[in-house]
Amino acid sequence: MLKTLGAHIREYKKASILTPIFMILEVLFEMIIPFLMASIIDKGIEAGNMGHIYKVGAFMVVAAFLGLLAGLLGGRYGAIASAGFAKNVRKAMYDNIQTFSFSNIDKFSTSGLVTRLTTDVTNLQNAYQMILRMCMRAPASLICAMCMAFYTNIRIASIYLIAVFLLGIVLFIIIKITMKYFNQVFKKYDKLNESVQENVSAIRVVKAYAREGHEKEKFDTAGGNIYKMFVKAESLIALNSPIMQFTVYTCILLISWIGANMIVGSSLTTGELTALLSYCMNILMSLMMLSMIFVMITLSIASAERIVEVLDEKADITNPENPVLEVTDGSVVFDHVNFRYKKDAEDYVLKDINLDIHTGETVGILGGTGSAKSSLVNLISRLYDVTDGQVKVGGRDVREYDIEVLRDEVSVVLQKNVLFSGTVLENLRWGDKNATREECIHACELACADEFISKMKDGYDTYIEQGGSNVSGGQKQRICIARALLKKPKILILDDSTSAVDTATDAKIRKAFAEEIPGTTKFIIAQRISSIEHCDRIIVMEDGMVDGFGTHKELLENNEIYHDIYESQMSGSGDFDEPGKE
Amino acid sequence: MPEQNSKPIKGPGRRGPMGPKPKIKNPGKLFVRLMKYILRYYTPHCIVVVACIIATVLSSVQGTMFIQTLIDDYIEPMTRSQNLDFGPLAERMFRVAVFYAVGVVTAYIQSRVMVNVSQGTLLRLREEMFSKMESLPIKYFDTHSHGDIMSMYTNDIDTLRQMISQSIPQFINSLITVVSVLACMMVLSVPLTVLTLVMVGVVMYLTKKLAGLSGSYFVAQQKDIGELNGYIEEMISGQKVVKVFCHEEESKEHFSEKNEKLYESAYQANQFANMLGPINAQVGNISYVFCAIAGGLLALNGVFDFTIGKLVSFLNFNRSFNMPISQISQQLNAVVMALAGADRIFALMDEQPETDDGYVELVNARENHDGTLTECEERTGIWAWKHFHKEENTTTYQRLEGEVVFDHVDFGYNDEKIILHDIEMYAKPGQKIAFVGATGAGKTTITNLINRFYDIQDGKIRYDGINVNKIKKKDLRQSLGVVLQDTHLFTGTVEENIRYGKLNASHEEVVNASKLANAHSFIKRLPDGYNTMLTGDGASLSQGQRQLLAIARAAIADPPALILDEATSSIDTRTEKLVQQGMDRLMGGRTTFVIAHRLSTVRNSDCIMVLEDGRIIERGTHDELIDRQGKYYQLYTGKTASDLV
């Protein structure tokens, strides 16, 4: 994990090295001060030497200012290093995500990826800064103070060594145990919040069944348990500061007693005693700081792990070595295709699919939700790879093509389609960067999108909000179709892309397709028979298998499922709210 | 394609410690309210805590003062007099040790008691929030995003925990330390104290300057983070489209630009924030040095009675004075942060709960020989509305029949925009009423009025002749079974989910309800049958199976009346038939309002209401409406639409 992340420090290596160096320098200058103080007391005050006080005093001021300078520089480089590291990690993740195939994306889920790119990177950035600035400073401060203490007086310094050792062990044990508790309690806590979430989204069910009281009871029980666990965990943490104080106080008392004895016995000076007292505080404060850092790092490890998962993820669809750069025609062949989304999935999503589709043919696909219609067409542009068998486009296995070439020729209008924030034109030009305004308008005319775009206030320069929230579902679908058309593909796939378009417009779009792009192979997935009955051939999908393949007439005669759906839809049942369905 | 979360749950934006301060209208008042909230149950605890903090601070201060005594009264005289009697020192140190011990004990008591105070307060807060939330009208959930509501339970509660358990006690600690240390310093040397205070002033001035400087950078950073995160969210949500259009390179480029911009502002902002630490520490050191020099001179010349012991003690105080001062400002910041959260939480608590002035109750009843009804405990299949008449102090029972009347009902989600106009409707007991019409015509809204999810603007809705406003909401809703279009399941076993309809149902009842709903056969095939755990809104089940469970859940409640919202999404043909059958069985003999999408449902209805733009434009049986050749006829035959083809 460290290796993966470390590789992204790159140009910020200098800053990453300078930060701890300056932090250590700051510590060193700080440590000199008590030492000089001892000299002021012993050689200045006790000896009545004013000049010495001035001289050493001046040194102390210089040391403090140098410390300040080192601290400021450390802060600056720390900021550069951590912000830069975060930038690099974020970029590396984003770039890697761009290579992800659909199944990689499915694995992480959209929201998972967003959290990793945002919150987790921020956590990592903070942790990195903490490590650079504090991880060096605290141990350095501990070691320096310890050395100075030993230099001043070995006997007393050994008291510190013992204290540090004992306190270190106790703190470590407390942290270990509480971390365990906290992990448990946080899991429970997440569960509790999940149940709140559930209540928020299912509030209508709760209220419809008048179950408010029941939910409250459930919540109170869970909340009560969490309370008990939190109290247990935090009670242990409550020991931290008294233990710390106990150690400090014991040290002070011991030093005072032994120190008094030694001064009286002339083996220690008053100045040295004060220096030792200062170092005592320094040592124990750094120890406390170390334990805090330890906790912080443990907490950010989870974030780091999630980030590394994304960085280490290998795209499972990559370009072949010598890719074919041209798709000759729009024929599609499915040859004994089996497909499942995950290798360890029990059932195949698609089972033994054999299809032979000619260039320029219009193919309708019908079937219930979960009958794997989308899965079928997603294989054509290699959004997923087949598990067995092969899919051929233009007579060649799709895995032989350069992916970009293939996807430019096989244009898919996805079921869950999105528009991006930007003008209508900008969105359309996703299909073809260099498309002229006229070409864009023509594509929109084909997709019946021009009729409403031209009526908009800013026409083709109308700004589309994120997710296309300022156009209706039907309008969004039509812009998406136009965008796909701009690719001038050899194969066009519409995955339930006109579900929110009214029947009349739907028919117009189909007519335009037939007249304007007759050479393009078209796949149309639809719920409504009326959308596909005019297709050259229709595939009926059921449960991942092809249940029927033929013309409308043929299927009506000898395919039971098709017949059933036709009966129920054509005899008028259909969907009563068809036209407005978003 | 596998089902996946298309909507990323908007993570409530993390508010960094140096982010722009949230605006609160009246922080003082809010703080007082929060304190009152804590003190309501924990006044004695808090008194103990404050007392303990004082004791802890004093114990530490007396220790520092002791060093002066140690040097001036014991070590110095002893080195000079050659009188090596350590007896008095030992005695004195024993006293110090005792005080120290007290300090350690009080420190523990303080933190331990604080655990109970903070966790206890949070427990109570969570419970009250949840219970308040459950009592709020549906409107609240319409107007507040789920993400915002959730962030109160997570982020806001967490910042409050920080504040109650750490910031406030530390703040009190710092305050008491500053005061007592200041007092001790005054006792030791007034001129040095003045010097120390001047240096503190310098630190505060610098801090303020820096905070102003970094503030503007933090605003910039916040803006850049917002932009970058927005971009990430948009692009990752549309990542599949990016792939399909091979738009990866452009996407990377734009990302890089925004990423660079964030880096610039982030490092600038952090750089200034990082300066605060060294400045605090090193100016503190400089203050220490100045005091050391000045003190050294004073001690050397014996001015103001100044001694080495006093100097050492003073220098220690100087150290312990700087730290709490810089802490106080940090803690104040944390408190302000937490108050923003408290503000949102209290806003939730102040929300108006659903009003429920109803007094008519729904009870199980038994019919007497003379036809009158008597209330009883057990389920008899007969329900009665129980009226209590205040004036006469009598109770009457009226049999629940299931008659629902809409009398000139107007409704809008707010007063300005009325979306249902003058709805007139009459459902006789046992009748099946179907609503048809385009999305947005107001079908779902009408059904939401029957069980009073929303209150109407004008007109009356009567249930068995009783104005629904007079019926207790809980009883009204229990008399109406609901199967919503979106099935929501709860984390728990399948059996628990079905039992949601009737909490004390036996296993047999659960099985019977499942059989009626056609759910039994698939449940039996689940890995643990009825004990299969469902999580994440029943994510492991198919859409159809979830619907079957929802029907079973309604069936076990065995309500006299039903509201059904048929799902639009098509499920595979076999399950669809099962769902249809289950629904039909459920509807048998009950007054049913159904938002219909299927022909068979509509055809079997006693009365069909055709809605358009919030008005009932046609009503009647299937045959009547077909004869009329109006909107229903259009919808039914699809004539106008297909004419164009």
pLDDT in tens, B237-277: 888 888 888 888 888 898 999 999 999 888 888 888 788 77
Closest residue in B to A113 (Cα–Cα): B236
pLDDT averaged over chain B?
A: 82
Closest residue in B to A244 (Cα–Cα): B104
Q: Report residue A258 as tokens.
A: 């032994």
Across B14-47, b (16+ Cβ under 10 Å) vs e yields: ebbebbeeeebeebeebbeebeebbeeebeebbe
Task: Report how many helices (DSSP H) and strands (DSSP E) chain A contains, helices first.
Answer: 22, 12
Give, rounded to a whole angstrom, the gap between the first and last alpha carbons of chain A: 45
Instruction: Judge: B78–A414 Cβ closer than 8 Å, yes or no.
Output: no
Instruction: Judge: A542–B572 Cβ closer than 8 Å, yes or no.
Output: yes
d(CA B468, CA A434): 63
Q: Which of A253, A411, A568 sits opposite B93 (nearest CB)?
A: A253
Kindly state the percentage of chain A with pLDDT values over 90: 15
Q: Which of A78, A129, A201 sits opposite B488 (nearest CB)?
A: A201
Dump pLDDT digits (tens) for B11-39. Answer: 333 333 333 444 566 778 888 999 999 99
pLDDT at A581 over 60: no
Main-chain dihedrals φ then ψ at residue B6, nearest 5 degrees: -85, -25
d(CA A428, CA A439): 10
Query: Shortest Cα distance from A16 to chain B (angstroms)?
Result: 13
Q: Give every strand in the sheet of A388-393, ordered side by side.
A: A350-357, A332-339, A388-393, A396-397
Closest residue in A to B575 (Cα–Cα): A368
Query: Shortest Cα distance from B370 to chain A (angstroms)?
Result: 33
Closest residue in A to B282 (Cα–Cα): A68
d(CA A322, CA B558): 67
What's the Cα-to-Cα distance from B414 to each of A332, A512, B143, B410, B445, rounded to whole Å? 55, 44, 11, 11, 13
Closest of A97, A430, A313 to residue B232, by C-alpha? A97
pLDDT at A54 over 70: yes
Instruction: Judge: B488–A202 Cβ closer than 8 Å, yes or no.
Output: yes
Instruction: Judge: B100–A572 Cβ closer than 8 Å, yes or no.
Output: no
For residues B188-195, give the mean pLDDT.
Answer: 86
Closest of B182, B190, B198 to residue B303, by C-alpha? B190
Dump pLDDT digits (tens) for A85-138. Answer: 999 999 999 999 888 888 888 888 777 788 888 878 888 888 888 888 887 788
User: Which amino acid is residue B376, in one-letter code?
Assistant: C
Say what the alpha-carbon torsion angle B347, B349, B352, B356 is, to the nearest 10 degrees: 170
**What pLDDT sits at residue B83?**
67
- Which residues in chain A are closer than 8 Å to B66, comparing Cβ atoms? 256
Dump pLDDT digits (tens) for B510-564. Answer: 999 998 888 888 888 888 889 988 877 777 777 778 888 888 998 888 888 888 8
pLDDT band at residue B2, thresholds of 50, 70 and 90? very low
Closest residue in B to A133 (Cα–Cα): B274
In degrees, rounded to 5, the angle at the alpha carbon of residue B501 between the alpha carbons of residues B495 and A223 is: 75
pLDDT averaged over chain A?
A: 84
Instruction: Judge: B108–A242 Cβ closer than 8 Å, yes or no.
Output: yes
- Neighbour-count burial of B143, counting CB atoms closer than 10 A to its CB (0-12 exposed, 13-18 middle, 19+ buried): exposed
**What pLDDT sits at residue A290?**
80
CA atoms within 13 Å, Cβ hemisphere of B434: 23
Task: Report how many helices (DSSP H) and strands (DSSP E) chain B contains, helices first.
Answer: 22, 16
Instruction: Judge: B308–A207 Cβ closer than 8 Å, yes or no.
Output: no
Q: Which of B244, B289, B489 sits opposite A64 (nearest CB)?
A: B289
CA atoms within 13 Å, Cβ hemisphere of B575: 22
Dump pLDDT digits (tens) for A191-243. Answer: 887 788 888 888 888 888 888 888 888 888 888 888 888 888 888 888 888 88
Q: Which of A72, A201, A576 sits opposite B275 (nearest CB)?
A: A72
Instruction: Judge: A252–B451 Cβ closer than 8 Å, yes or no.
Output: no
Dump pLDDT digits (tens) for B424-461. Answer: 888 888 888 888 877 667 888 888 888 888 888 888 99
d(CA A532, CA A438): 30
Mutation target for B interface from A382, A530, A577: give the one with most B CBs within 10 A: A577
Please give the helix or strand (H or E) that residue B410 lies within, else none. Answer: strand B404-411
DSSP string, A276-328: HHHHHHHHHHHHHHHHHHHHHHHHHHHHHHHHHHHHHPPPSS---SS-B----
Q: Strand, coil or helix: what is B379?
A: coil
pLDDT at B60 over 60: yes
Instruction: Judge: A204–B138 Cβ closer than 8 Å, yes or no.
Output: yes
Measure CA A273 to chain center.
Answer: 55
Q: Which residues contact B642 (CB under 8 A, 6 or more apart)?
A: A503, A530
- Neighbour-count burial of A150, counting CB atoms closer than 10 A to its CB (0-12 exposed, 13-18 middle, 19+ buried): middle
What's the Cα-to-Cα distance from B546 to each of A554, B161, B479, B511, B527, rounded to whole Å? 35, 39, 23, 16, 16
pLDDT band at residue B147, thresholds of 50, 70 and 90? confident
- Which residues in chain B are closer than 8 Å to A97, comparing Cβ atoms? 236, 239
For residues A149-154, give the mean pLDDT.
Answer: 82
Mutation target for B interface from A22, A26, A209: give the one with most B CBs within 10 A: A209
d(CA A521, CA A491): 5
pLDDT at B391 over 50: yes
Closest of A277, A273, A274, A248 to residue A259, by C-alpha? A273
- Which residues in chain B are closer than 8 Å to A504, comparing Cβ atoms? 641, 644-645
**What pLDDT sits at residue A6?**
82
- Which residues in chain A are closer than 8 Å to B277, comparing Cβ atoms? 71, 75
Main-chain dihedrals φ then ψ at residue B185, nearest 5 degrees: -65, -40
Poorest-pLDDT segment among A149-153, B298-302, B345-349, B366-370: B298-302
For residues B601-622, give the mean pLDDT.
Answer: 85
Mutation target for A interface from B7, B236, B593, B644: give the one with most A CBs within 10 A: B236
Query: Shortest Cα distance from B236 to chain A (angstroms)?
Result: 6
Mutation target for A interface from B247, B285, B487: give the one with most A CBs within 10 A: B285
Poorest-pLDDT segment among A147-151, B97-101, B212-216: B212-216
For residues B381-388, give the mean pLDDT.
Answer: 84
d(CA A505, CA B101): 86
Q: Strand, coil or helix: what is B328?
A: helix
Mutation target for A interface from B75, B361, B453: give the one with most A CBs within 10 A: B75
Sign of torsion over alpha carbons A393, A397, A403, A405? negative
Where do runs of H (alpha helix) occur along A100-211? 102-108, 110-115, 121-130, 136-152, 154-201, 203-208
CB B620 within 8 A of CB B608: yes
What's the Cα-to-Cα distance from A140 to each of A31, A33, A281, B276, rounded to whole Å? 10, 16, 14, 20
Query: Shortest Cα distance from A345 to chain B (angstroms)?
Result: 12
Closest residue in A to B635 (Cα–Cα): A576
In this prediction the ipTM stands at 0.80
Instruction: Judge: A115–B11 Cβ closer than 8 Å, yes or no.
Output: yes
- Which residues in chain B are closer than 8 Å to A202, comparing Cβ atoms? 488-490, 537
Q: Strand, coil or helix: what is A492?
A: strand
| Count of C-beta atoms within a 10 Å radius of residue A106 | 18
Sign of torsion over alpha carbons B457, B460, B461, B467? positive
